[in-house]
Chain A
């Protein structure tokens, strides 16, 4: 395979002069930062129509497992909550390189499959009645019908005959229902169910790439846009060959984005993108922030709903993720924020006009996640902006990090953090962090608005450096959010985060990935940065529809 080794420098911190401690930032070959668009290199990555990215095997995450058994069996008990946790990679729970199955997980699969099969509603799953057409014929029809949904493609002849043999064995000893339940129990542990097997079709001549089959693309679409299995309409579209063309994929992607399952998926993305997966575990000083524990779960909901509505409703304009003057809250959360009263426990859109809050930077969950136990944290907040919103990667702190900041009750946060700027070992990198985080100082460590800290007036001026179109001084969360909303880099980073989430791996410098991102960036920009168009554009890339032809290494 040919690889384009493009200079990945567009957002590299290395190009910024005068940053001693940050003079050798890690520029990761994978998922390190937005790689340059086509205009940065002399070779058009899209000129290569021969190669395709590797498509590492993906296993269902816990969420995907739960959603899949919901859609397959009608079981809403969320059995995967008892599984060992999914390990993370690139900030997401669905990355192929972090999906090794542990023995504890394998046993949990066995337990869950047994329980799910035992309580499955056979009447709703059988396409026939054994009394009408005979148990043998109905068993075969069931295997074919259920198997197509469980494996997300028609069974092969070999598979059909293996399951028929299993069915017949159990039926002769224990009867029809036991046989059907055993088929379910086995299928729920089979690799065709637990993994996304993508073998692709026949390779075109002289290329190292193969297009995924229609059924494989159906699963790519459904696990990306729904975090679940394809529905019948999608499987039928695959069967009719409709997913063999970009037009067919686009039509399905648009249909799926209008479904409630896409809303749930965006909420799931939001929580992970914003680094809130373990927000439940965030602890705050109960003396300083006595009300935080009660609103903590509400804040996480708010963040998920905020991103969901702004991404999928109205204009879908990504810049509004940063500049929206409304959020989603219920009575308790609105009260916590000091917003006009909302009645009831249900979340609703709440206007933030004439309020210091604006966009996702001022979500309570973001401010608290990136705050400390008993104070705010300009460092963590700056790091959040750099890593999650700008896709920059920062070098590690130097070895000798003695943090003797004065206690939080004595002065302002800005005063206390002066030590970093004064110490040459720290100042290089911290010049990238605090001046960004200082802009959010009107919000305390638990996300509440403040004008004073320890009796001193809050000063929320800040400055961004080494970040291209974001550079320059600013005043407070409003101006920083405004600038993030206008930034092209921020949109490109968002596109990369979505790409990682969609394909289950970090982007590489290979031509297929660079071509995909170039086209995604262009389509996103052309749509006025409509997030829905971004998601559709990802499904239309060759990186989504093709894989490198499998070299099975001389398998038997």
Chain B
């Protein structure tokens, strides 16, 4: 059930309200309540592919006096707000059907083995939900969008290219075109309030009528088909209710510039698309359009060619070279370091948005994961996880922790708990022993 939602209030309305134009009292009450309350928490999931170079990833030294590794060194400016986790294993992936990369990405945020339906050779879809969707259910009801799934050059539509799931075999495809994301998020951002209100009213009456058709058809179909239709009808109802959501932008909220058209398939566009998606993601959170976002760089077994780093090999092929191949290892370190730079740039953006007595980053939990730990042996041991932000003071940051091969399902439990989801286990319980110890304050 979506909680009762508040009435709409556009940014312009807010500003007018503050400027002294008479508006209805409940609106002001809402504004006041929000001003006095703690800023909302946000979850941000990030994915990059093909494992890492373990020796160049893990920090050295102690829990708080650690030294950054070559790969993570770009994150050093955010040291106090980081929680780097060494030796966390995707244990469930070892036992999943599917080929190695499919298993890694499909279990990463779900904690469950892939299904065995053979839609993709040896496996089918992941068995969701993924944690972002569980968190969206818990905290996403009050925003215009329950969650937002973004991607950068995801050149595949199979299980290897989906990490977010609404439920079993319900993958959520990421949006890879920044212009489409811009339209979705900000298309009606500064519409005339009267026009916007009329359009909302029209759409609600249309969606009401659409739901009546779903209700009529749904009861005549088979049980499996009805589940599909009912999920669709629920999404319609959710959309309808979100039309009423109060839009309460913080002071830093502003409509971004429309992204320029880019050759989306050109490998050289990868950095530019990344920058646009990170800008849009940050502004979506700043404007409180959503509280749950994910960004998927490429896909499992990523074939990205990092030409802007002077590299000419596909990332996946590089990841299969032996550990003694020095040029390949140097190239892989450069790739993973580039990703760390992008994560750092995102953290800088989030940390520059003031909210209450902290920043947007302080109120967020960023989790940067991967589909495996090590590429050339497809090992799920020591899969690299970097957390940032404290989700409003919950995580004790500024540390590097060796988790001694604990299962990543435990980490997922801790993440869910941080958003008020009171679970002791998540995903396949055989791979979960409760919250991961030592992460929170």
Q: Does A31 contact B (CB under 8 A)?
A: yes
Residues of A within 8 A of B325 (CB): 404
A350 to B419, CA, bound (A): 63
B122 and A396 contact, CB distance less than 8 A? yes
B223 touches A553 (CB 8 A): yes
Please name all residues of chain A whose beta carbon is closer than 8 Å to the beta carbon of B235 when the two chains form the complex: 101-103, 106
**Is A277 positioned at the interface, with any CB of B under 8 Å from its CB?**
yes
User: Contacts A28-B118, A103-B235, A373-B313 hold; do A186 and B206 have CB atoms under 8 A apart?
Assistant: yes
The total of interchain contacts (Cβ-Cβ below 8 angstroms) comes to: 218
Decide: B213 and A186 in contact? CB cutoff 8 A: yes
Known contacts A89-B119, A100-B171: does B222 contact A277 (CB below 8 Å)?
A: no
Contact of A403 among B124, B147, B224, B321 (CB under 8 A): B321
Q: Once the chains are docked, how many angstroms separate the CA of A298 from the CA of B238?
A: 43
Task: Give chain A's interface residue range (CB within 8 Å of chain B).
Answer: 35 or more
Interface contact A93-B157, CB-CB below 8 Å: yes
Q: Which residues in chain A, 194-226, are within 8 Å of chain B measured between CB atoms?
A: 194-195, 197, 199
Task: Give the complex CA separation of A82 and B153 in angstroms.
Answer: 16
Tell me, yes or no, whether A192 is within 8 Å of chain B by CB: yes
Chain A residues at the B interface, C-beta cutoff of 8 Å? 26, 28-32, 54, 56-57, 82, 84-90, 93, 95, 97-104, 106-107, 110, 113-114, 158-159, 162, 166, 182, 185-186, 189-192, 194-195, 197, 199, 277-278, 280-281, 283, 285, 287, 372-374, 387, 393-397, 399-404, 506, 550-553, 555-556
A104 partner, pick from B98, B117, B149, beta carbons under 8 A: B149
Binding stretch for chain A, among B49-57, B226-234, B358-366:
B226-234
Given A30-B118, A281-B153, A396-B122, A403 and B220 contact (CB-CB distance below 8 Å): no
Closest CB in chain A relative to B193 CB, distance in Å: 19
Residues of A within 8 A of B14 (CB): none
Asked if B120 and A287 sit within 8 Å, CB to CB, the answer is: no
Q: Are A403 and B175 neighbours in the complex by a CB distance under 8 Å?
A: no
B333 to chain A, nearest CB (A): 18
With A57-B228, A199-B220 as contacts: A102 and B99 at CB distance below 8 Å: no
B175 engages A104 (CB within 8 Å) = yes
Report the bound CA distance from A171 to B121 in whole Å: 54
Name B213's contact: one of A191, A402, A404 (CB within 8 Å): A191
B221 and A550 form a contact (CB under 8 A): yes
Please tell me if B169 contacts chain A, counting CB pairs below 8 Å.
yes
Chain A residues closer than 8 Å to B217, beta-carbon distance: 191-192, 195, 197
Asked whether, in the complex, the Cβ of B206 is within 8 Å of the Cβ of A189, the reply is yes
Judge whether A100 and B321 touch: CB under 8 Å.
no
> Which residue among A32, A104, A189, A553 has the maximum number of chain B CB atoms within 10 Å of its CB?
A104
Query: Chain B: which residue is nearest A283 at the CB level?
Result: B267
- Which B residues are CB-close (under 8 A) to A194? 232
Max count, chain B CB within 10 A of own CB: residue among A99, A190, A396, A400: A396
Q: A interface, by DSSP: helix, strand, loop or mixed? A: loop
Which chain B residues in 166-216 approach chain A with CB under 8 Å? 166, 169-175, 180, 183-184, 202-203, 205-207, 209-210, 212-214, 216
Residue contact A29 to B118, C-beta cutoff 8 Å: yes
Collect the chain A residues with CB atoms within 8 Å of residue B64's CB.
none
Closest to A554 in B: B223
Chain B residue nearest in CB terms to A156 = B216
Can you list 24 A-B contacts with CB-CB less than 8 angstroms, sorted by A residue number? A26-B118, A26-B121, A82-B183, A85-B173, A100-B171, A101-B232, A102-B171, A103-B239, A104-B149, A106-B235, A190-B214, A192-B217, A199-B220, A281-B153, A283-B303, A287-B312, A373-B317, A387-B121, A393-B122, A399-B378, A403-B321, A403-B322, A404-B322, A552-B219
A194 to B305, CA, bound (A): 38
B424 within 8 A of A: no
**Taking A402-B322, A404-B325 as contacts, is the C-beta distance between A110 and B155 under 8 angstroms?**
no
Q: B180: which A residues are within 8 A, CB to CB?
A: 82
Which one, A56, A90, A101, contacts B119 given CB within 8 A?
A90
B314 CB within 8 Å of chain A: yes
Mark contacts of B415-439 with chain A using CB atoms, 8 A cut-off: 1 yes-contact digit, 0 otherwise: 0000000000000000000000000
